[in-house]
Amino acid sequence: MPELPDLVVYVDALTRHLEHHRVERVVLLSPFVLRSVEPPIDAISGQEVRTIGRVGKRLVLGFDEELFLVIHLMIAGRLKWAPHSDAGPPTKRPSSKLLLAAFELAHGTLFFTEASSKKRASIQMVRGSGALRALDPGGVEPLEASLEQFREALVREQHTVKRALTDPHLFSGIGNAYSDEILHAARLSPLKLTRSLSDGEYLRLYEATRTTLTVWIDRLRALTGDGFPEKVTAFRSGMAVHGRFREPCPVCGAPVQRIVYAENECNYCARCQTGGRILADRSLSRLLKGDWPRSIDDL
């Protein structure tokens, strides 16, 4: 799922290409993508895009009369911009199998795609700032929060730090990928409990969160330039641990480890983050039992 750095760059690109331009027509190509009835999606046809922003992991296009188009990309949803040529409509049209919707403007078309059969990505139309706020899970903005606000959100419930960082009710925009990177930068175990952190560890985590997200926003902005994000992925060259199982940690050279759960996995460096201890994998450690390595040296 696109996370805060990707969403910031999407907002930048949408602002460059759509703000103060009129949406001439909305074409829905999937019956599942629209998750609201009132106001109707056609209400924005002929209207100018006034604002571009986000609420949590949702992208928001604002129109007159407090109309808001809310796009939730979920895991496989993506936005693609195709400028019109002098000869007419864009020739770079995504595959019809992936298309969910198209927003046609005089100078180009914004395509909404999803590379998944599960159809999780969605569009909602809402009217009024109150209705828009109701879609916000309520997590603090990690780049805007003070240390005290960050700490208060972190300890609101007793969770592992990995789970807390990825909880949208606690922190806005952080997901599986960047939580791995943040915890590696903070030198903290993903399974450490939030209320057991020392003052120094709270500060390290706060600073690592701000630094990691800022660095990646800058990198993705440089990669995108004045264009539109083309490759939005959770696995990027230059990441320290996420998606790098068994590859060397860039800090100490030890092989990156992982914990597999549900549809995700957590990547970490045992030497940098857990004092050399290999964290138990729910399935594999049960299978291996006594043969499960207890430390990075056992490997």
The least confident of 120-129, 238-247, 259-268 is 259-268
Q: Residue 297: phi, psi to the nearest 5?
A: -70, -30
Alpha-carbon gap, residue 247 to 266, rounded angstroms: 14
CA nearest 160: which of 228, 259, 88? 259
- Give the pLDDT confidence of 46-63 residue by residue, as tens digits: 999 999 999 999 999 999
pLDDT of residue 287: 39
Is the pLDDT confidence value at 120 over 70?
yes
| Domains of the chain (ranges, CATH numbers) | 4-133 (3.20.190.10), 147-298 (1.10.8.50)
Residue written as token pair 């103060």: 20
The upper half-sphere exposure of residue 225, i.e. CA atoms within 13 Å in the direction of its Cβ, equals 3
- Name the DSSP class of 11: H
- Give the pLDDT confidence of 191-212 residue by residue, as tens digits: 999 999 999 999 999 999 999 9
- Give the pLDDT confidence of 163-174 residue by residue, as tens digits: 999 999 999 999
Q: Are 205 and 182 in contact (CB under 8 A)?
A: yes
Does 118 or 128 have the greater pLDDT score?
Answer: 128
Percentage, residues of the chain above pLDDT 90: 81
